[in-house]
Amino acid sequence: MTAVDTEVVVIGGGAMGSSAAWNLARRGREVTLLERFAPGHRNGASHGASRNFNLAYAESTHVAMLLESQLEWRELEAETGIAILDQVGLVDHGHNPGHDDVRAALAAVGIPSEVLPPDEAGRRWPGIRFTTRALHLPTAGRLNADAAVRAFQSAATARGADVRHESPARGIRVLDDDRVQVETDRGTITARRAVVAVGGWTSKLLGGLVDLPRLVVTQEQPAHFAVRGDSITWPGFNHHPGADDDWWYSGTYGMLTPGEGVKAGWHGVGPVVDPDLRDYEAEPVQFAALRRYAREWLPGVDADTATPISCTYTTTPDSVFVLDSTGPITVGAGFSGHGFKFTPAVGRILADLADGHPAPGVFRLGRFAAT
């Protein structure tokens, strides 16, 4: 029988894989984390300085993961001394019929919220134009994505994990139910379990090994808009279109990125791409529409002074994550542009799966076969 080099090999050193490595290492597992690119790269979905910590969920599993993640973000900060979560609040406005369900779900677990008429919301946050009621979530906020990845890897290393950058996995071979081999440029690693969290490269790496759903990789193109004045208070925001907003590509999201401006973007509507063949350039028609959105709805920014950003989404058919195992392979994929806030809980679930526990039903691969 082939000896193992490590208990668990985690493939993918973005947010989810790094969180899984941290969670496994603090359980005393022997962990090797393989990341294809150098630290701080911009090739995937986990870079940049800002993500919304949005609490506007009504589904019970997601709400529980929000509670867990809020606590674990603070635990990670305490363990590393790296600031990650800034609870500046978030407002959800526009034509969203789910506000009442969200409020009820959050109230049931003690998360505060309030509904504001548009004039009051505009008075508090003059950088945003409101024409409908706004759901304010005061304990929501923003996350520093770059700092989070750095903190997960630092904490995992401090607990004994072997974190290797510029170490791409070229292939995976299942030997039996308790051993898997990963081919790298520096040789073969044999482990009892492999956790795969490689974002847009999931289908390329796991094709033929795991019965995945269709995962659509898109190049998303938000932008940072220059702020008109330093005195404006900026919460995070989500904005849902109404009947007259037929020129919108989707709902929008945004938040202040300190030192860079207000980030705003369409959600999940960028061009479909091969992650190895991206051009990183903003699609001009969508970018022009985003500037129009900023001009009409964000009076606190200069819509003509914008810096495009490029990242990827990997989206499942139902926009719900895949967190499941097949034999010795555990996969985390399809975070569909809304997964980052849940990263600590996702890492814990991936660690549970690698330890042999079943996946929560809402995230199982089998849900796609059933439909």
Give the chain's domains with CATH numbers. Answer: 6-49+146-214+318-370 (3.50.50.60), 90-138+217-315 (3.30.9.10)
The vertex-331 CA angle with 176 and 361, nearest 5°, equals 105
**Which residue bears the tokens 């007259």?**
244
What pLDDT, on the 0 to 100 scale, is given for residue 370?
A: 58
Q: Which two tokens stand for residue 65?
A: 């993961």
**Which residue bears the tokens 């490590």?**
6
Q: How confident is the model at residue 371 (pLDDT cuts 50, 70, 90)?
A: low
What pLDDT, on the 0 to 100 scale, is given for residue 252?
A: 98
Q: pLDDT, tens digit, for every residue of 72-113?
A: 999 999 999 999 999 999 999 999 999 999 999 999 999 999
What pLDDT, on the 0 to 100 scale, is given for residue 1?
A: 55
Q: What is the mean pLDDT of the chain?
A: 97
Identify residue 186 by its one-letter amino acid code. R
Question: Region 349-368: what's the mean pLDDT?
Answer: 96
Q: How far is CA 191 from CA 158, 227, 294, in A?
A: 21, 50, 50
* Cα distance between residue 155 and residue 151, in whole Å: 6
Q: pLDDT, tens digit, for every residue of 2-53?
A: 789 999 999 999 999 999 999 999 999 999 999 999 999 999 999 999 999 9
What is the signed CA dihedral for 262, 263, 267, 270, rounded to 10 degrees?
Answer: 130
* Cα distance between residue 141 and residue 146, in whole Å: 16
What pLDDT, on the 0 to 100 scale, is given for residue 229?
A: 87
Q: pLDDT, tens digit, for every residue of 211-264?
A: 999 999 999 999 999 999 889 999 999 999 999 999 999 999 999 999 999 999
Q: pLDDT, tens digit, for every residue of 148-171?
A: 999 999 999 999 999 999 999 999
Query: Please, which residues have CB within 8 angstroms of residue 271's CB and are 6 or more apart in sequence?
Result: 218, 219, 283
**Residues forming beta bridges with residue 218, ordered by sequence position:** 272, 313
**Which residue bears the tokens 């001394």?**
81
For β-strands 329-333 and 187-196, DSSP reports them as parallel
